[in-house]
Structure 1
Amino acid sequence: MRNFFMKPIIAFPMLITAAILGALAGVLNVQGTPISAGFGLSGLVGPLNYINLAEGGWTPENIAIMLSMFFILPIILNLFFIYLFSKKLKVIKNDDYKLDFE
C-alpha cells in the first residue's frame, strides 16, 4: 500500500484495464450480484455466478466469455499496459514496485 500511495502512477495500468473490462462487461451483459463482484468474496464466485445468471447457462459461448473476461483479458491487458507505461512512455520504473523495509 505504501508504494501505491507514494507512486499512484503504478495503478494506472490496472485502472485502465478495469475501465476497459467494465465497459466490455456492459456490452457483453456480464452480470453478477454485489457479493460476487469481480471474483467475489471467495475464489471463483464471480465467474461461476456469471455463468449461473447468463441466459442459457453453461453454453460454450458463455464459458468463452467467462474465461476471457475473468482470466485471459485481465492478464493480457495488464501486461500490455505495464509494458506501455514502463517501456514506451517511461513513466513507471521497476524500482517503483520495489519494497523498502527500512
Structure 2
Amino acid sequence: MSAALCGIIGAILGITGTPMLAGFGFTGLVGPLAYFELEGWSLLNIGKAIIAFVVAPVAFGIIFNRVFTKIVPIIDPEDYRLNFS
C-alpha cells in the first residue's frame, strides 16, 4: 500500500526515470540520481525528490505500521523478531 501511494505521489510530482530503474526508489540513490540526471539539479527538483524519496515513504511507513498493528491488527511486532540460534 505504501509503495502504491508513493507511486501516485511520484506521478503527481512528475518524478521521471527509466523503465530499467523503476521501483529502485532510494536504494543506493539509484532513483534520485536517475531523476536528477533526467531533470536537472534545481531547487524545485531537489524538493520534489525529498518529498518523493524520503518524506512520503517514511510517512506512509509510519501510518501503515500504526494502521496494521493498532487499528486493523493483522501484524504483530513479534512478526519482525529475528531468532538467532
Is the pair's TM-score, using the shorter chain for normalization, greater than 0.5?
A: yes
CA distance 1:64–1:36, shift in 2 (3 Å) = same
> 5+ unaligned residues in a row in structure 1: which ranges?
1-15
Percentage identity across aligned positions? Answer: 36
The correspondence for 1:69, drawn from 52, 60, 72, is: 52
The correspondence for 2:30, drawn from 22, 32, 45, is: 45
Task: Please give the TM-score of this superposition, normalised by the length of structure 1.
Answer: 0.70
Where is the helix percentage greater, Structure 1 or Structure 2? 2
Query: Aligned-residue CA RMSD in angstroms?
Result: 2.0
Q: Structure 1, residues 63-88: CA drift from partner, whole Å, max 9, x if none?
A: 00101111121011101110111012
Aligned to 1:86: 69
**Cα distance in 1 for residues equivalent to 2:30 and 2:81:** 32
Which fold has the larger relative contact order, with Cα–Cα distance below 8 Å and residues 6 or more apart in sequence?
1
> 5+ unaligned residues in a row in structure 2: which ranges?
none
**Cα distance in 2 for residues equivalent to 1:99 and 1:43:** 25
**Cα distance in 2 for residues equivalent to 1:24 and 1:72:** 11
Number of matched pairs: 84
